[in-house]
Amino acid sequence: MCGIAGLFPSDRPGCVESLARHARAMADAIVHRGPDDSGIWEDALSGIALAHRRLSILDLSSAGHQPMHSSGGRYVLVFNGEIYNHMELRARLADRQSWRGHSDTETLLAAFEVWGIDTTLRSITGMFSLALWDRLEHRLVLARDRLGEKPLYYGWLAGTFAFGSELKTLCAFPGWQGEIDRDAAANYMRYGYVPLPHSIYRGIRKLIPGTFVTISAETAPGTWPEPAAYWSARSVANVSELADLTDAEGVDQLESLLRQSVGRQMISDVPLGAFLSGGIDSSTVVALMQALSAKPVKTFSIGFAEGDYDEAKHAKAVAAHLGTEHTELYVTPADALAVIPRLPHIFDEPFGDSSGIPTYLVAQLARRHVAVSLSGDGGDELFGGYNRYSWGRSIWRHIGPLPVGLRRMIGRALTALPPEAWDGLAAPLRAVLGRHMRLPALGDKIHKLAGVIDVDSPAELYRRLVSQHRDSGSLIIGGGETAIWADAEAARCTRTDFSEQMMFHDIVGYLTDDILTKVDRAAMAVSLETRVPMLDHELIEFAWRLPLAMKIRDGQGKWLLRQVLYRYVPRSLMDRPKQGFGIPLDAWLRGPLREWAESLLAESRLRKEGFLQPELVRRKWQEHLSGRRNWQHWLWNVLMFQAWHEDVFR
């Protein structure tokens, strides 16, 4: 795991030393991604500079140093990530290559030299972002892994093409302007993240997952190179289902693929462990790790004193059953609150997922013991784990036939009581309801239902379900939402079942832009590499060939994944309602965070800065403080925008 950066001026610079100096400053801005080593390479004739920061995971010797040259001299590479099947690729290249070390970077270069760009990218299994300079063709190639586990930003700065693993690299360039894109800000307010391909800055983009772009000296400044796809989640989702696959065969095949993926991702020359929340996904990954390991696997979890948000007790029970070397840390509100001032710097953009706080804390805990940690992310999107996949489908089936006017009346009736009142009415029933009927935050769910009940299509229902703000143009002054890549991909997906449509939309949107962004930035902020076995592309392709009934059955998601887990962990340890990885944000905003929030949401400040509509923000804030409504997620998006703006422009 590393960080990369580089520059490729459209006109040949007169002094290559300044080019290298700028590239070094860009790389040094992300020293947290690679504290072990650094390197710069420049070509005075071509005007190209590549920079690298290294976190040593495979081949800790100097043979893994980057930028790295191919043995034939044609290519120079800077690479961030891991290629899990690189030893298999080496075996295929054995008669064409002599090896200097055992790094996957060297394997990549050999493959590029023998097979070319497209074939190599299609052949590798891993997570990565990379920049490859072709000295023969005088062209720069940027590429990103299939699901976007590793980040890559790029754009034009004062006529120079620049790229980097994080926005920090581009901000370190002398030509940096940093104009906020108000349309991207409007997208952020809806989703809680800035969606692909946009960034919060005008003129800077994120590379689409599963694609590569090519830039040459003939590329006109300001021109956006067209991404070429070597893999497509949409093409995978548009395949037909497996024929004549029994439940038992499905479980066997899924277990085999999971064991293969987990086994590959356990290869490391440094200490390795795993995050363990006690949920289905992380427990499955840890169970397979332990089955493949000759010694106890190191596992990590954090807990909160607030019972509704504490999963540590579940993780501890799973760890005890599997026999892992488990470390847990119960954090206080003060511990969590201390992270908040760091969030704008960690994420570089406004980022509204408050679970970034516990993610950072568990990464920080793990880094004290290991350099690599496996994660269970991706299981919900692939195997139907989110409640909205069954809940949203049920909603549309019931409300679709009703007149819109009647639905609006029902919505007004449901919001006549605040969420806390609904929770109070439901409290006496919890003692008699079955375990799966005890929905946490029932009042919030009722209000969310009221907010989607008047939709006119399944697509609009999904959009409402994942939106924190329905009309972000009314919040961002001078901004209006712009088209995003996930919507375009979803529109071309041929799946007709609403649950599968939602799952696909989450894979190309929410998973990449929120979940993987959160895990990468939070972990790399403490120099911890994270790996996600569920996102092995062979596993993804298998999941999309499964019938939906193997994912969602009897109203419960991840059916097939659960069957694999039950081979290792008793059902009694896992049979409980799904619980998110969150913090008691609603109460904190009314309590220990109130003064901080009030300063960011002050009306005079909002008017002076000129980005957010003061009247709307103040009304939501007062409603939340009074307890009439729970606007925690909406307000957190606004607060993270404000905190980011303060951090960048103070």
The β-bridge relationship of strands 298-304 and 325-331 is parallel
Local confidence band at 13 (pLDDT 50, 70, 90 cut-offs): very low
Q: pLDDT at residue 316 above 60? A: yes
Is 229's pLDDT higher than 90?
yes
3-state DSSP call for residue 160?
A: strand
pLDDT digits (tens, 9 = 90+) for 351-384: 999 999 999 999 999 999 999 999 999 999 999 9
Please state, for a pLDDT cut of 70, what percent of the chain lies above it.
94
Would the pLDDT of 349 be above 70? yes
Q: What distance in Å separates the CA atoms of residue 486 and residue 583, rounded to the nearest whole number? A: 28
Residue 70 has pLDDT above 60, yes or no: yes
Helix (H) or strand (E) holding 562: helix 559-565
Q: Is the pLDDT of residue 310 over 70?
A: no
Report how far residue 639's alpha carbon sits from residue 595's, in angstroms, rounded to the nearest whole number.
Answer: 12
For 332-472, where are the E strands, in sequence order?
Answer: 372-374
- The mean pLDDT value for 556-575 works out to 95
| pLDDT above 50 for 398 | yes
The predicted pLDDT at position 579 comes to: 59
Domains of the chain and any CATH numbers: 2-231 (3.60.20.10), 235-383+503-574 (3.40.50.620), 584-650 (no CATH)
β-pair type (153-157, 160-164): antiparallel
Token pair in block for residue 171: 């901000």
CA distance 396 to 407: 12
pLDDT of residue 344: 96
Cis peptide before 271 (omega within 30 of 0): no
In angstroms, the CA 148 to CA 193 distance is: 15
Check residue 169 and give its pLDDT.
97
Distances (CA, A) of 160 to 198, 219, 320, 530, 600: 19, 11, 55, 32, 36
Q: Where are the beta strands (DSSP E) in 217-364?
A: 228-229, 272-275, 298-304, 325-331
Q: Report the alpha-carbon distance of residue 225 to residue 580 in Å, rounded.
A: 39
* Mean pLDDT, range 403-424, rounded to an integer: 84
311 pLDDT above the threshold of 80: no
Partners of 140 in the beta sheet?
Answer: 133, 215
Checking if the pLDDT of 436 tops 50, the result is no
Give dist(CA 638, CA 189) in Å, integer: 7
Contact residues for 546 (Cβ-Cβ < 8 A; gap 6+):
241, 242, 245, 250, 560
What mean pLDDT, rounded, does the chain reach? 91
Collapsing DSSP states into helix, strand and coil, what is residue 44? coil
Q: Is 478 exposed, middle or buried (0-12, 13-18, 19+ CB in 10 A)?
A: exposed
* 276-304 confidence digits (pLDDT tens): 999 999 999 999 999 999 999 999 999 88
Tokens read off for 20? 């290298």
Contacts 24+ apart (CB under 8 A), 107-113: 107/83, 108/77, 108/79, 108/83, 109/68, 109/69, 109/70, 109/71, 109/75, 109/77, 110/70, 110/71, 112/70, 112/75, 112/77, 113/70, 113/71, 113/72, 113/74, 113/75
**Catalytic annotation, pick one of 2, 15, 171, 493:** 2
Closest CA to 84 of 580, 513, 498, 533: 533
Phi and psi, residue 324, nearest 5°: -80, 165
Mean pLDDT across the stretch 1-30?
81
The 10s digit of each residue's pLDDT in 594-648 is 999 999 999 999 999 999 999 999 999 999 999 888 899 999 999 999 999 999 9
In this prediction, residues 450-460 reach a mean pLDDT of 88
Residue 432 has pLDDT above 90, yes or no: no
CB 140 within 8 A of CB 131: yes
Region 379-402 average pLDDT = 92
Q: How far apart are CA 208 and CA 200, in angstroms?
A: 16
User: What does DSSP say about strands 372-374 and 272-275: parallel, antiparallel, or unpaired?
Assistant: parallel
Q: Is 104 annotated as a binding residue?
A: yes
Whole-angstrom distance, CA of residue 388 vs CA of residue 376: 19
Q: Is residue 326 predicted with pLDDT exceeding 70?
A: yes
Q: In which residue are the tokens 């590479």 written?
A: 77
> Average pLDDT, stretch 207-217?
96
Residue 279 is given by DSSP the state S
Residue 302 among known ligand-binding residues: yes
pLDDT band at 37 (very low <50, low <70, confident <90, very high): confident
Closest C-alpha to 257, from 560, 634, 605, 626: 560
pLDDT value, residue 19: 87
How many residues make up the chain in this entry?
Answer: 650
Share of the chain above pLDDT 90, in %: 72
Q: Write the single-letter amino acid at 475.
A: L
Of 511, 372, 376, whose CA–CA distance to 84 is shortest? 372
Give me the torsion for CA of 193, 31, 360, 620, rounded to 10°: -40
pLDDT digits (tens, 9 = 90+) for 147-178: 999 999 999 998 899 999 999 999 999 879 89
Is 2 among the catalytic positions? yes
Whether the pLDDT of residue 439 is over 80: the answer is no
Q: Could you tell me if 462 and 392 are in contact, meaning their C-beta atoms sit under 8 angstroms apart? A: yes
pLDDT at 307 over 60: no
Closest CA to 547 of 239, 238, 242, 237: 242
Amino acid present at 408: R
